[in-house]
Amino acid sequence: MLPFTSDQFLANLVAYNEAIWPMQPVAFACGALAVVLLLWRPRMADRLVAVILAVMWLWTGIVYHWLYFTEINKAALIFGAMFVTQGALLVYCGVFRRQLRFGRDFGLAVSVGIAFVAYATILYPLLGIWMGHPYPEMPAFGVTPCPVTIFTFGFLLLAKPPLPWWLLVIPFIWSLIGGSAAFLLGVPQDWLLLASGIIAVPLIALSHSHPSGAKITG
């Protein structure tokens, strides 16, 4: 059982979305920029993508979890700490250590990664509208936990080996927590979240165990 009702969750989400406007379109623009950087490949592209992902995790941890979600669920204090930690890890690994490099050879991992990115940015909001939860009742891309996690898994699937394994731990944990809650809250667009970690983590591990032949076609 959750410590809050579906109505309380939606009311909290509405209050959050209305308070942070216009951060939603800014977050979407940042996500689009990350995709452009992945395709364009200018100098500093990898570090800029890492920064974009990190900002999404930090914002979601601090603003969504700590400032808003704690009003209906005190466990959000822990969730927020998880998201802030993931943001810090992305900065450390992607910016300072330069351990995140994107643009690997096409294969199954890349196909799934592209699908996750497309789902988080395009299909996720469309599915929410179709299921009767338009904005502001919609978990918005880039500023709420579930689409941020799916989007991040997409980019981690697109990362070249070797990938620091600890970057997968918190997204995987949240995929189980948030994905399970989605069924109880009636948020069908989040159902993929539960499967995202189960799909992405083994696929990354398998494809990165063959670094010279990341073209695992399945």
DSSP string, 127-154: HHHHTT--TTSS--TTTSHHHHHHHHHH
For residue 199, being part of any structural domain is answered with yes
Q: What is the pLDDT of residue 100?
A: 95
Q: CB of 27 within 8 A of CB of 140?
A: yes
Q: In the predicted model, what is the mean pLDDT of residues 42-54?
A: 95
How many domains are contained in the chain? Answer: 1
For residue 218, being part of any structural domain is answered with no
Domain that holds residue 177: 6-213
Q: What is the token pair recorded at 41?
A: 């490949």
| pLDDT tens-digit series, residues 60-100 | 999 999 999 999 999 999 999 999 999 999 999 999 999 99
pLDDT band, very low/low/confident/very high, at 216 (cuts 50, 70, 90): very low
- Buried b / exposed e over 22-48, threshold 16 CB at 10 Å, is ebbeebbebbeebbebbeeeeeebbbb
Phi, psi of 102 (to 5 degrees): -105, 160
Q: What is the pLDDT of residue 101?
A: 94
For residue 24, being part of any structural domain is answered with yes
Percent of the chain with pLDDT over 70: 96
Cα radius of gyration rounded to whole Å, the chain: 17
For residue 1, being part of any structural domain is answered with no
**Average predicted confidence (pLDDT) for the chain:** 92
For residue 129, being part of any structural domain is answered with yes
Q: What is the pLDDT of residue 199?
A: 96
pLDDT band, very low/low/confident/very high, at 211 (cuts 50, 70, 90): low
Q: Is the per-residue pLDDT at 210 higher than 80?
A: no
Q: What is the pLDDT of residue 187?
A: 84
Q: Is the per-residue pLDDT at 45 higher than 80?
A: yes
Phi, psi of 73 (to 5 degrees): -150, 105
DSSP 210: S
